[in-house]
Structure 1
């Protein structure tokens, strides 16, 4: 995308968010005179996390637009409300994000949506916690977010160390059964704890660990690590890091002819942009995914996932991702909690969120006492790239295709 296109995209996004430049006040919606529920926060529209940040942002916009324009608002305790977003670009910078969140609290915002990345969600959640304002977020899974005793932050995923159990269960179903694994993570809050979760789950499932590697938070070269991988050649190579780092590893594996029977990348292959960037080499790659438009859940607002996707496509041409659906589900979860509480008081809504047991188009929503998603109810599905599409291969009840294993060597991919 050209610089001009990026600037134009950002202008459109900021306009859709209902927020202008940071120095300017938020632009009020057309429904400013009606009773309004404001959702504040920040999203990374620029910087390192922008690729997924835009997906999160689009999910928030889609949900608010649907509730306002299609449903005419929401009813809570017999009163009608319109929804308003008051989100700003945090540029993937935790310091900038915390400044933005504190400013919004000072201005009276009561309900918050999360940014993307545990390195941003953790410090911003600490601020909303001190102010006793709820945050429902789809962008941070680090254990640190859920082990500090916070009572006002709720996440749409299990904490990082609990996210790999379903993947280890899939590995045990592969034929011939894999025996060994190696794991690579980056030095950031989410990836480090996710790496620990990989080891806990794979060891418990009986796989033998050959190597573990920690990369810098922003790696630029992984050739020495891949040399070690080639020397030991695990059956399973598990990479837990953010999308752009997964792409770096896959490209350098292709370039160095580093082959394994299964390459699992926690984040990356779920994005159409990742698959397009890697082309034919994305085939057979596996990843976690928390949502697909074929999931069987239903709700009283969107109806089901396919209808959500249909509406999303009337707003955006950007390919949909599970973070998009998860972000929209944050809004829906807030509304369901407010209706259950019969209140828009922040503490009453927090209490309702802690007792949530709702079915949405995205998933059944149920949080642990620490605020992360229930490990079974809100755990991941496993996707695999097959013929350029991401097919669900686990669990069997949600699968759209069978897992393909072992993957061919890079030079044999059509």
Structure 2
């Protein structure tokens, strides 16, 4: 089989590229041995957010509010998981084989392995293509440790039919925190084990805020390095966490089982080696999404697909240089784009509780802006709606919008999004109100202008 473009993997990156290329007139072959839609649809973003939504409903009943008494929620875990499955099923047709075949894509349900610099073997079919795109994604990282044969991962936890009485989680990254809070709110006891503090790669203040609130909800957080495991349990020198279920949430490693050496594609433990154009060491082959080692986010994978599309299909130059936001969908939500800050940067910060909406909603969190040489370099948000609000700041970074323009944007009142603008106010206020030259100009204008 000869084609213009052959894509290995039908996750976010592969599907986005296949749809765009086919609709533009390219001949496209898409290879996928597993479920269409990849991790995001089947075991990642979609099921986890459905679970978080149900858990938030339970917590709202438990917490109550001003003048509203909290009550113990009645959780039907089977119904919760039915909601999770229904959410996946509702979205699945958009990613289905039938839809992509209707777009003109040839879908082969088999894994692809390179047999040369321009050929791939998928089952009994050999495909020769002008261009290839590797979008094989990643899979859960499982340490080489005794006793982990019964442990759950982000791929298998969705098969649970009963609520864990005590969920032990090994890991403290974004996924670990999201699932820890969700299962705790649904009624499980939860213990998180990790050798470092939660969210060690995020803004320290934001990570500390979330850690404190997770502990307030009853989640036990332990710093330890497990040495062995058992059913639902982890053990380390001088301690143990024994529960009903054990979940591994230690990150994901790229899927590199496509014989890259046969195609002259260099790889490392972090993923396929690429340049800024997402080209591999074989210029006919691109890599996108999780397997490219540039971050593991669905929206990043979709962006990568656009970068590859412009080159492989349209023949236009393109580079992957856009600022990429990320969000952690806990309560409070954490969101970040750009830099966290480095020595010499100026940090602007404003508490949500100092905004009028923060007062009415009793909101906890903050907006933090990183300035470098008078330009916006990064933003961290913590609080309700942070994942939605970060889009505004991502656009500002992508367009290199001036601080004065951002400060002049009119926002709805009262809203938590005012916190970022109020943070900018701490930058401009001294320049306007504590400036002798400005006061001299004002006095002169008031004296001379009729």
Task: Tell whether the structures are fold-level matches, with TM greater than 0.5.
Answer: no
Greater per-residue strand proportion = 2
TM-score (norm 2): 0.26
Higher relative contact order by CA 8 Å / sep ≥ 6: 1 or 2?
Answer: 1
- Whichever of the two has the greater Rg, that structure is 2
TM-score (norm 1): 0.28
